[in-house]
Chains A and B, each alone.
Chain A
């Protein structure tokens, strides 16, 4: 249902808008043009809703409230304050954006389900307020409000060509804003939030802020849609903005396929064609058909109309390119590229890995001495209590500057919990100091700014962004700043983007990630490649301390060697590494020092060689009674 968000919808969007622009030449009758108009108007807000659902991973079953705000604010201002329609429309759009920010700020604190229910509620409450007595002076109560006329010169915007092209322009604006958002940093950060909020927080992303931003943009587009809707229907009444309209808007986005922006427009056109196509029978019969189709689509074709269309276009393209002579074939290379074909195949990691195993034969202890200075990280008697289960108890670890320090131990020993404590996700008793600074008062993003980066057992890359963009997201020093400036392309955001890109490229080169794979979508990578990219993403922040959570689990021998090589490169760059791993051979290769955890307590600590020949350690790993 929450399909992959797409990055390459700019051209399809343009094609669809052009088709809509020339449609009146072929679609002559007023009724059909009317269908397109109302479809485009709903689509203005549906595109924003798709941004919210498909790109930012939130739910809203009450989006039509913002249509209502846009429509009522614009009309009310025109009726009571006699403003001309342009500033009134701007006021309507800003008002809905503002309310969306406030309400969104409340609802994003709820978990996904709470937001779904809350927004559903909101739609119902709004209808009550609109038709009730309290706001009747502004809204006309249940009697409604007539919409004053609007025109450009002699062309009325409330009917005919004027209305058609006004709606099309508004739709183009909405699509433009949403597309732009998906291309700037804020849009990419929102997609990391959609993937995994905790990983996003660890990368320095302000999760709450990005979610509210998506809400605000969705609210703004809905407000614009509401203003156009007011012009279309000419008379505002509370029934126009009910709960079912919110659900229908959601349904359009679902049927069209979430995460594609264009799909929302397709869904809207589909819905209105079907509903009006059966208007002769009865309104409720067409509602019935719509809900049956919606159900069928959600059960059977849950990837949506856009995906269906994309597949058929690709099939046609492939069929066509097979029939054409070779010269035209080369031309066909420029055509639409499905992400699973083309030159982005994963090469076998054999050649580089073979070289890696040769160079890693010498044990780590023979290296040159690490730089002087006290330990970089001091974990001082920390404890973690999960209501009776002591995940960590009295744990002390000193990580020396420039070391690769391994944490090993059986499952459930508390290793990941230890990393969670250091990165700030897990509250503790005890003290952790980095370079002499006590970290107790520092939040997750503050610790990142101080130079701690980490990877996770499950990489949580954004599947539909390519490798380079995934690493870039981790390369921003801060994720603060105004989203409006970003959308407009101001100099500060652009400079920041360039810096981030530079750091991302440097990280990928340091870790020797093959360049031909930099443009592959992360969802297409093998597990080994994903872990590799995860390390690059953590390194893009140029940290002092890198925490690696089981970088080798689930990998084959060659991939493990590649990770070992990556860790070597990281250490050679002067970064201290704290790594959790299960593979003893791997540990022997790369780790200088080792700490063994068992049931939340430190069992042994020291150089790798000493620890791994310690009898108690061997017993814990292999079992008692092992003959020497």
Chain B
């Protein structure tokens, strides 16, 4: 019993990180209209950059700080150089994100990957506390705290700042928002800036546990998709609920039935959700005019 609860607790922490990646996915989807297959690998690549800085002599916190600045720029660069020029229809943009997915993996392999996987130093304290027979890791608790803070920050931005309001407008009705004077390309650039930083954060929190190699984010991306579907692809809040569900299930399955069923169980949950509640737990039905 104690094991199960410990697994659930760490599953929640893991799930919140998945939820954050799902949040990036849905956030970018709502502001730019396209689901970006490359978000996981953006985080992976930025984490590699931090690792490179660290092995070149910077302390881990300095490396992380510099990395965060670089990630902000990197995010904007990706939007301006890869996604914005000649942007046509949705299918084309989707394929560009897939190409970016491949490109980032290849870049990581070529520039950083000679001796991967690498062991990545943890920014969070090790060890944990035991309550009864339940083991709770400090890193998990702090992860939960970080994610909650970030969510609160986003909620505050949406509620109290002009930019946040513009984001909400674009997410609901992009053309009308544009007609009302919202500069959508500028907003998209900001969205990608935030996405770049958040992706690095996820990478920094995951890499210590998973080792750092170019495919590290592939399963996480899939879990994030499943979480977004479960939460409802139009709901920003739902992504975290979906993430927790997926994270807990995956950890339980991995502990009790073996690691090879983790992806299958996430896929199963996603398909089940689509069959029973096609719009997810919190999503709204999409209606089109014939």
Identify the A interface with B (CB < 8 A): 1-2, 59, 61, 106, 109-110, 113-114, 116-118, 120-122, 124-125, 128-129, 131-134, 198, 243-244, 247-248, 250-251, 254, 282, 284-285, 287-288, 290-292, 294-295, 298-300, 302, 416, 420, 425, 456
Q: Which residues on the B side are within 8 Å of A114 (C-beta)? A: 229, 274
Query: Which residues of chain B have C-beta atoms less than 8 A from A288's C-beta?
Result: 103, 106-107, 109-110
- Let me know if A299 and B85 touch, CB within 8 A: yes
For chain B, the bracket of interface size reads 35 or more
From A61, A243, A294, contact of B99 by CB (8 A): A294
Contacts of A282 in B (CB 8 A): 110
Which A residues lie within 8 Å of B260 (CB)? Answer: 128-129, 131-134
Contact A284 B106 (CB under 8 A): yes
**Main secondary structure on A side of the interface with B:** helix
- Docked pose: A128 CA to B258 CA in angstroms: 11
Interfacial chain B residues near A300, Cβ < 8 Å: 86
Which residues on the A side are within 8 Å of B258 (C-beta)? 132-133
Name the residue on B nearest A117 (C-beta): B225
Whole-angstrom distance between the Cβ of A539 and the nearest chain B Cβ: 21
Does residue B82 face the partner (Cβ distance < 8 Å to A)? yes
> 17 A–B contact pairs at CB < 8 A?
A113-B35, A120-B222, A121-B266, A121-B270, A122-B267, A124-B263, A125-B267, A128-B262, A131-B260, A132-B258, A132-B261, A244-B102, A247-B98, A251-B98, A285-B110, A287-B110, A288-B110
- B interface residue numbers (CB < 8 A to A): 35, 37, 82, 85-86, 88-89, 91-92, 94-96, 98-103, 105-107, 109-110, 113, 218-219, 222, 225-226, 229, 233, 258, 260-264, 266-267, 270-271, 274, 290
Complexed CA–CA distance, A59 and B35 (Å): 14
Q: Determine whether the beta carbon of A290 is less than 8 Å from that of B222.
A: no
Interchain Cβ contacts within 8 Å, total number: 119
- Decide if B95 touches A287 in the complex (CB within 8 Å): no
Q: A128-B263, A294-B102 are in contact. List 17 more A-B contacts (CB 8 A).
A: A1-B95, A113-B35, A117-B270, A118-B267, A128-B260, A128-B261, A131-B260, A132-B261, A247-B98, A250-B98, A287-B102, A288-B106, A288-B107, A288-B110, A290-B106, A416-B290, A425-B290
Closest beta carbon of chain B to A265's beta carbon, Å: 19
User: Chain B interface secondary structure, helix, strand, loop or mixed?
Assistant: helix
**Other-chain contact of B91, A2, A125, A132 (Cβ < 8 Å):** A2
Across the interface, do A295 and B96 meet the contact criterion of CB distance under 8 Å?
Answer: yes
A120 / chain B contacts, CB cutoff of 8 Å: 37, 222, 225
Question: In whole angstroms, what is the CA distance A133 to B86 when docked?
Answer: 47
Please indicate the chain B residues that have their CB under 8 angstroms from the CB of A420 in the complex: 290
Residues of B within 8 A of A416 (CB): 290
Q: A291 and B106 in contact (CB under 8 A), knowing A118-B267, A133-B260, A250-B98?
A: yes
Report whether A198 and B290 are in contact in the complex, using a CB–CB cutoff of 8 Å: yes
Q: Given that A1-B95, A132-B258 are contacting pairs, would A124 and B103 also be in contact in the complex, using a CB cutoff of 8 Å?
A: no
Instruction: Please give the distance in Å from B286's CB to the nearest CB on chain A.
Output: 8
Residues of B contacting A285 in the complex (Cβ-Cβ under 8 angstroms): 110
Contacting pair A247 B110 (CB below 8 A): no
Known pairs A106-B271, A129-B260, A134-B260; A124 contacts B219 (CB<8 A): yes
In the assembly, what is the distance between CA of A288 and CA of B225, in Å? 26
Q: Which residues of chain A come closer than 8 Å to B85, judged between CB atoms?
A: 299
